[in-house]
């Protein structure tokens, strides 16, 4: 029996370490997964999950290191290292993986230079910016230990339905699913000591998840900083998802949420006349589409004349070109818009590809200021998408100087797709960039 336990411990350790080694190599070299995607349908289906896993490794390497050391210790306690293969794997793969994770952590720390330059170039107009506080300083290191840390002086108003009774009834009738209306809800975060009579700016965040998954139930670091230090209100919204609800149901719901915020946020101390949208991944696409189609009756059924315009958009690895590759276009057409296999409505895709709507948004007066964050190692939304968006944006809204562009872009050289969900060195710096950009926008627009 003990022999079996030792064998299982050794086998699991060898397999687990091998998997971690493969994922870690991919974390440094994104091209490996991209090559597999072009060759294998299985890899295409798996690569979103691989990218998410590699993002977690890149952002939380020390947490992975701690977990791996625990597993190594348990393997030793159960006698797994009595097998020579386990020892070989530890030295040949385990130790290099540990070293690689330390390198990943250092890479995150070193991106302070990127963010400092970004604040100077994009926000202060070239003027020296205040030095960013080190994530290793005492006030911040506790956040690195607990990535979900939330300021104690924040009040949350959860699960507020933003759809009307008629709208929820129609959704139930269309889907036959009484749980669907629960998705049309939002959470409001605000400082506990705020003065309700003092109308403060509002940030509405649209979560990602490939239009098919995801949840509003995460208070992002950039929102925590804006709420705690700048007394903004942060509104995290949910929306209906595919396949039960084909797109553009998602876009319509985002606009319904904007309508509710404009009608009701003053009761919570928010300013209905100053709303900024932010979104990550698919949420970045939806936030951008909502701003570009402001007041478009086609996506505002039942509230066609309501003003859904906003003051600005922040995109974190936003899917701003749903036709970046043939695979992206097919995914959106068949798994998000739920068009039948074999059908491919090019006109529909063009109408919902933000990079192809910038000129129309300019013509309609809907080209608001943008802050774009991209990541060089992102295999889900290539960083070239953000660059293309900015190039087209500046064509239709030429800046007087490079620092005067209304579309600010910052590319993170060592980040993957997800770098904004919990406290890490990178997200600490990111929250400062967002804070500086948002406060500057508020000062200009209020």
Grouping H, G, I as helix, E, B as strand and the rest as coil, residue 206 is strand
SS3 404: helix
Sheet holding 407-412, edge to edge: 154-161, 185-191, 233-237, 200-206, 270-280, 312-316, 370-375, 407-412
Q: How far apart are CA 203 and CA 218, in angstroms?
A: 14
CA dist., res. 361 & res. 293, Å (int): 7
Q: How far apart are CA 129 and CA 126, in angstroms?
A: 8
**Which of 185, 281, 317, 408 is an active site residue?**
281
Question: 281 catalytic, yes or no?
Answer: yes
Tokens linked to 293: 């189609």
Collect all residues with Cβ–Cβ distance below 8 Å to 28 and sequence separation of at least 6: 100, 377
**In this structure, how many other beta carbons lie within 10 angstroms of the beta carbon of residue 423?**
24
**Nearest CA among 11, 58, 47, 38 for reference residue 413:** 58
DSSP E strands: which ranges in 177-252? 185-191, 200-206, 233-237
Question: Annotated catalytic sites, by residue?
Answer: 281
């Amino acid at each position: 029996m003990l022999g079996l336990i030792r064998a299982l411990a050794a086998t699991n350790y060898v397999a687990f370490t091998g998997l971690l080694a493969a994922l870690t190599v991919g974390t440094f070299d994104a091209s490996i997964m991209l090559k597999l995607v072009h060759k294998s349908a299985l890899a295409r289906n798996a690569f979103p999950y691989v990218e998410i896993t590699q993002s977690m490794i890149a952002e939380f390497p020390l947490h992975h290191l701690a977990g791996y050391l625990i597993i190594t210790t348990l393997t030793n306690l159960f006698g797994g290292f009595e097998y020579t293969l386990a020892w070989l794997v530890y030295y040949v793969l385990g130790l290099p993986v540990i070293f690689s994770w330390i390198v990943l952590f250092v890479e995150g720390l070193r991106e302070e230079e990127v963010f400092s330059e970004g604040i100077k170039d994009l926000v202060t107009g070239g003027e020296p910016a205040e030095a960013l506080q080190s994530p290793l300083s005492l006030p911040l290191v506790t956040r690195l230990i607990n990535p979900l840390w939330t300021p104690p002086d924040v009040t949350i108003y959860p699960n507020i339905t933003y759809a009307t009774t008629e709208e929820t009834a129609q959704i139930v009738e269309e889907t036959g699913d009484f749980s669907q209306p629960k998705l049309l809800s939002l959470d409001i975060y605000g400082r506990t000591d705020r003065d309700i009579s003092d109308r403060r700016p509002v940030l509405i965040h649209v979560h990602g998840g490939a239009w098919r998954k995801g949840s509003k139930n995460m208070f992002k670091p950039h929102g925590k900083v804006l709420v705690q230090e700048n007394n903004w209100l942060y509104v995290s919204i949910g929306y209906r998802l595919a396949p039960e609800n084909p797109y553009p149901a998602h876009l319509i719901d985002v606009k319904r949420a904007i309508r509710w915020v404009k009608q009701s946020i003053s009761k919570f101390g928010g300013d209905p006349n100053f709303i900024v949208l932010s979104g990550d991944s698919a949420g970045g696409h939806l936030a951008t589409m909502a701003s570009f189609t402001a007041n478009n009756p086609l996506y505002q059924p039942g509230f066609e004349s309501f003003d859904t315009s906003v003051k600005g958009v922040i995109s974190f690895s936003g899917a701003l070109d749903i036709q970046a590759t043939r695979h992206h276009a097919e995914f959106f057409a068949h798994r998000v818009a739920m068009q039948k296999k074999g059908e491919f409505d090019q006109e529909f895709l063009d109408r919902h590809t933000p990079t192809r709507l910038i000129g129309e948004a300019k013509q309609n007066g809907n080209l608001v200021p943008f802050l774009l964050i991209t990541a060089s190692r992102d295999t889900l939304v290539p960083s070239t998408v953000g660059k293309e968006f900015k190039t087209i944006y500046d064509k239709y809204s030429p800046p007087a100087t490079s620092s005067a562009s209304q579309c600010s872009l910052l590319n993170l050289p060592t980040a993957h797709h997800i770098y904004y969900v919990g406290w890490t060195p990178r997200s600490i710096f990111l929250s400062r960039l967002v804070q500086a950009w948002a406060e500057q926008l508020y000062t200009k627009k209020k």
